[in-house]
Structure 1
Amino acid sequence: MWVAVLILTLLTLWITRLLTRTQIRPPLPPGPWGLPAFGNLLSLSSELHSYFATLARPYGPILSLRLGSKFAVVISSPSLAKEVLRDHDVTFASRDVPVAARAASYGGHDIPWSPYGPEWRLLRKVCVREMLCAATLDAVYGIRRGELRRTVRYIRSRVGSAVNLGEQMFLTSMNVVTEMSWGGGVAEEGEEERASRGREFRRVVAEITGHFAKPNISDFYPGLARFDLQGIEKKVKACAERFDGIFNKVIEQRMKMGGGGEEREKDFLEVLLKMKDEYEEVEDDGKSKVSFSMTHLKALLMDMVLGGTDTTSNTVEFAMAEIMNKPEVLRNVQEELDAVVGKESIVEEHHIHKLPYLQAVMKEAFRLHTVVPLLIRHCPSKSCVIGGYTIPKGTRIFINVWAMHRDPSIWANPLEFDPERFLNGKFDFSGNDFSYLPFGSGRRSCAGIAMAERMVLFSLASILHSFDWKLPGGEKLDLEEKFGIILTKRVPLTLIPEPRLSNPSLYE
């Protein structure tokens, strides 16, 4: 008798525990079936942002995939993005770092790819406080102005001929970034040398960022990473070494110069070298110590090069393509510029706050052609529940902002380029409205928002105020995107400029 009671008791306890475990741990998010060992790898598309948006239709705004030995979750709704980026911000503050990104960022010792912790906090604090704060950006307005005036002069010399606008805006952004970072002006170069250098730099940056988004066996099967079967790590390191050589050269020159005197503003490199001396061991909240090494210094310089060039130039290129596709938008922008600036003067940055329609054009370009369509991947430091589903520790998290920005349940006529949707001032890109997240949200949001805003607006205002534009004869406007960690225009935008200012000396 007692044996039967014991068996019944144990059976009851086992069933109770099983039911309790089921209640405590919700299921994994739904998703397509995968093959043994491969999971869903073989069905992946090279255009991940649109592929994930297609999968969300049958499986919903949170879905899961097996990618080799990795588990991935795709988020495609504002409410779920809020859970990840705000409600569980600290849990999801670390990164799932692809091999290519680690190779380009000195082992992940930079702001985008460092794991969340004391080292990351120090790096972000240094970068934001010394390089990207409003006071520093105000102080280096002369650099932005000088490079954009140089760009206007170059375009003026190309009147009647086709200009590759994305390439030209990349060169402008690159020169602004290098001048801010280490005084990297190239005034001694001729325009042709300058353009050639810009094309080469753009090629290298595009190659590095392109490898970030490529399917890499080393990322799906980490045990195979040491073999680098596709050669991606090797290729990225070769590209990164080009910039590393530049960094080493300017660092060596600056260290020989010493402080450089008090007669000029310190650039970012000078600040970083001082930080390196002072932050060899830094107390972080009295609990742990972090260092600031030469590796960190060069990783931050790489962040400025990779993060401050393609993102700006691609946004300007997409915005100009959409403007050319909508004559009424072009007319509205130029009428606003003429009313605020006039044709007897040139655009200055202080005009920008008086140009609400141009600001709306920029915001609409950020929405429709989100520059980082899947954000930078997050990775939970512990298992948690999002949207009623279990997200295991170490999951690769994709937040499909591109899909959210084109969701018809959120945006009226979402595929239409309509700047007027932003004229009411409802949306900003601070990360507080989860329907509109061009720069992400939470503690891992983009550190360069203020710089991106200034560069995009000043660039658009300068080239739209100074020139009329038309497509080369016989060419059709193409708005197709090409996926990457940074979204690019598949067919480069080439336009023919014509002067529109009344006084030729304004182009000098």
Structure 2
Amino acid sequence: MDLFTLLVVLFSITLTYFLFFRSDSKHRKGAKLPPGPYPLPIVGNIFQLGTKPHQSLAELAKTHGPLMSLHFGSVYTVIVTSPEMAKEIFQKNDQIFLNRTVVEAVHARDHDKISMAFMPVGNEWRTLRKICKEQMFSIQSLEASQGLRQEKLLQLREYVQKCCDRGRVVDIREASFITTLNLMSNTLFSIQATEFDSNATEEFREIMEGVASIVGDPNFADYFPILKPFDPQGVKRKADKYFGKMLAIVEDLLKKRQELRRASPNSPKKSDLLEKLVEVLSEQGRKEYQLTTEHITHLLLDLFVGGSETTTTEVEWIMSELLLNPEKLAKTKEELRTVVGENKQMQESDIPRLPYFEAVIKEVFRLHPPGPLLLPRKADCDVEVGGYTIPKETQILVNVWAMGRDPSLWSNAEAFEPERFLDKKLDFKGQDFELIPFGSGRRICPGLSFANRMLPMTVATLIHNFDWKLEVEANASDVHKGEMFGIAVRRAVPLRAFPIKP
């Protein structure tokens, strides 16, 4: 940042303080706001966030309670850290908290106006949601595309077998990223995005991780809106580049499929999700849904990037916990052998018949939720929650990471104990507020049912017919504790292990 830009930032922040905080304090005077740490002038509580905000906010909540006030620059924020308060937000007052605060990076390419994940709730949002529910992620659609995913899982198994035969270490995150990318590209577009040991992987990784990191990176312009025209850290410019690359890929795939359908209208239709969306954009579909090509391409961007980042991260955490808890891994493998059989490829229909495996996944969601603070919500009007007033325009963050490690909710909360879910009839689909890794209410993650198939299938492929030995045994537990905060909290050090024949 050059000297002129720095001076602009300092001047703008000071101006924000006088214009916003004075009027803000008058507006909230007399309201019983949630308690919280004292904010510093101008910057508020920014410096209390640290590099791992989910952990810092969990510590602050121990002092200030499950509904806590913080100021991030000029953005007044309430942090939710209990199932009871989450239920009031997502169930009792869901209508009031349906909309989101949107970081400046998401404004790139007008994504905030077109994306189902970020656009205000209205007719367009309801239509996109309906398409996801009825066309893309219905049971019938997912069943029809199951064969496409099985092929990619077989490729993962063959890759691990090759590494096993040659005594090569497997980077679990790398293998998971490639597999997830191909699972999604095959389910969405009937294409293979990349291959193992391919240079093409790096291009996709740059785009995916670029979008994920730029949306999650701290940005002065988010905390001090007066800075938005200046983009002092270049966040929006970077976001525009990454969003543009991803949209270009998606637009090209959509255009080619539309041309193919026009050229051969009577040819057999593909069983992927893109075929459903081409129908939505047909003349008849446009009359029914009234959506544009831009709506569809931005929807695919959300699904592709969001799905690949969170699934890749969760596969790595599941494998981490299992490899560091050999007795839990042995139980999981024994259940797979009993239900699926030796040397057979697991089917998606097997998942409900694997209660211990499902418990393993729930336990990892508890300890390592894909989005530790979920996507932010925003209050559309003044509302009372938990006996406190939450003013209009307040940003709401729900710390599901903290709830998953709360000792008042979970016995031996820091330990990896899948057995706890064999006795508890809890699920992660938004109704049990102790465990809401995908959110809850009407803005719950639309791809939950898709993730619920991809995640266990990928992990089962890795552990069903292979034993594993960590590359670094001596400090495995210390390495395991390191985290990197972002849209999804990933391991600080990639998990690497040798596959071994049982």
Normalising by the residue count of structure 1, what TM-score does the alignment of the two structures yield? 0.88
What is the number of equivalent residue pairs in this alignment?
A: 469
2:227 is the alignment partner of 1:224: yes
Q: Indicate how the Cα distance of structure 1 residues 354 and 299 shifts in structure 2: closer, same or farther if over 3 A, else same.
A: same
Question: Structure 1 residue 105: deviation in Å?
Answer: 6.8
State the 1:445 CA deviation: 0.8
Shift of 1:41: 2.2
Aligned to 2:259: 256
Pair 1:146–1:465, CA change in 2 (3 A)? same
8 Å contact 2:44–2:71 — kept in the other structure? yes
1:104 Cα deviation from its structure 2 partner = 6.8
Cα distance between partner residues in 1 of 2:117 and 2:254: 23
1:346-365 to 2 correspondences below 5 Å:
346-365=345-364
Aligned match for 1:29, one of 34, 41, 45:
34
Deviations 1:342-363 (A, max 9, x none): 2243322232222111111111
| 2:487 aligned residue | 485
What is the alpha-carbon distance in structure 2 between the residues aligned to residue 459 and residue 105 of structure 1?
Answer: 34
Q: CA 1:379 to 1:314, structure 2 compared with 1: closer, same or farther past 3 Å?
A: same
Q: What secondary structure, in the 3-state scheme, does the structure 1 residue paired with 2:425 have?
A: coil
* Native 8 Å contact 2:90 2:440 kept in 1: yes
CA contact (8 A) 1:132 1:451 kept: yes
Q: Give per-residue Cα distances to partners, 1:384-414, cap 9 Å, x unaligned.
A: 1111111111111100011011000000011
Give the equivalent residue in structure 2 for 1:246.
Answer: 249
What do the CA deviations read for 1:175-211 (whole angstroms, capped 9, x no partner)? Answer: 121122222235xx76432xx3234323321222122
What is the correspondence of 1:70-219 to structure 2 with a 5 Å cutoff? 70-103=75-108, 106-159=111-164, 160-185=167-192, 191-193=196-198, 196-219=199-222
- For residues 82 and 359 of structure 1, the distance between their equivalents in structure 2, rounded to whole angstroms, comes to 24
| 8 A contact 1:127–1:300 mirrored in 2 | no
Q: Residues 112 and 459 of structure 1: is their aligned pair in 2 closer, same or farther, counting only changes over 3 Å?
A: same
Asked if the contact 2:368/2:401 (under 8 Å) is kept, the reply is yes
Secondary structure at 1:174 match in 2? helix
Q: Secondary structure at the match of 1:158?
A: helix
Per the TM alignment, residue 273 of structure 1 is displaced from its structure 2 partner at its CA by 3.0
Superposition TM-score, scaled by structure 2 size: 0.89
Question: What is the aligned-residue RMSD (CA, Å)?
Answer: 2.2
Measure, in 2, the Cα distance between the counterparts of 1:95 and 1:464.
39
Q: Which runs of 5+ in 2 are unaligned?
A: 1-26
Query: How far apart are 1:84 and its partner, in Å?
Result: 0.5
Q: Which residue type is aligned with residue 486 of structure 2?
A: G
Q: Distance in 2 between matches of 1:108 and 1:48?
A: 27
**Equivalent position of 2:236 in the other structure:** 233
Letter paired with 1:163: V
Out of 51, 73, 79, the position equivalent to 1:68 is 73
CA-to-aligned-CA distance 1:19-72 (integer Å, 9 cap, x gap): xxx9x9641111122222222223331211011101111111111111112111
8 A Cα contact 2:404 2:435, kept in partner? yes
SS at match of 2:111: coil
In structure 2, distance between residues paired with 1:113 and 1:152: 37
Residue aligning to 2:276: 271
Conservation of the 8 A alpha-carbon contact between 2:75 and 2:394: yes
Give 2:94's aligned amino acid.
D
Q: One-letter code of the match for 1:322? A: E
Taking the aligned partners of 1:370 and 1:104, their CA distance within structure 2 comes to 29
Q: Sort the Cα spacing of 1:190 and 1:434 in 2 relative to 1 into closer, same or farther, 3 A.
A: closer
SS of 2:384 mapped into structure 1? strand
Q: 1-side partners of 2:458 and 2:104: how far apart?
A: 34
- Answer whether contact 2:144 2:271 (CA < 8 A) is retained: no
Identity %: 36
Give the partner amino acid of 1:249.
D
Whether contact under 8 Å (1:105, 1:299) holds in the other structure is no
2:313 aligned partner, one-letter code = N
The answer to whether structure 1 residue 393 and structure 2 residue 392 are counterparts is yes
- How far did 1:425 drift? 4.7
Offset at residue 281 of structure 1 (A): 6.2
| Pairing 1:305–2:307 present | no
Distance 2:129 2:369 in 1: 23
What is the CA distance between 1:153 and its match in structure 2? Answer: 0.4
C-alpha separation in 1, matches of 2:334 and 2:271: 39
Please tell me whether the aligned partners of residues 25 and 390 of structure 1 are also in contact (alpha carbons under 8 angstroms).
Answer: no
Report SS of the residue matched to 2:257: helix
Task: Tell me how far 1:113 sits from its aligned partner.
Answer: 0.7
Unaligned runs of 5+ in 1: 1-21, 283-289, 501-508
Corresponding position of 1:379: 378
Which whole-Å CA distance do the structure 2 matches of 1:255 and 1:497 have between them? 43
Aligned-pair distance for 1:473? Answer: 5.2
1-side partners of 2:355 and 2:429: how far apart?
17
Give, as a single letter, the amino acid of the residue that structure 2 aligns with 1:488.
R
Larger radius of gyration: 1
SS at match of 1:402: helix
Aligned-partner SS, 1:136: helix
Secondary structure of 2:55's counterpart equals helix
User: Deviation at 1:280?
Assistant: 4.7
Report if aligned partners of 1:372, 1:486 keep a CA contact under 8 Å in 2.
yes
Q: Which amino acid aligns with 2:171?
A: N
Is the partner of 1:322 in helix, strand or coil?
Answer: helix
Q: Comparing 125-134 with 249-258, which one deviates more in the overlay?
A: 249-258
Distance 2:73 2:290 in 1: 36
**Structure 1 residues 291-440: aligned runs within 5 Å:** 291-440=290-439
SS across alignment from 1:185: coil
Secondary structure class of the residue paired with 2:393 = coil
1:76/1:473 CA distance change after superposition, 3 Å: closer
Cα deviation 1:242-272 (Å, max 9, x = unaligned)? 2122123212322321255442335333322
Alpha-carbon distance in 1 for matches of 2:205, 2:423: 36
3-state SS of the aligned residue for 2:204? helix
**In 2: Cα distance, 1:312 partner to 1:42 partner:** 31
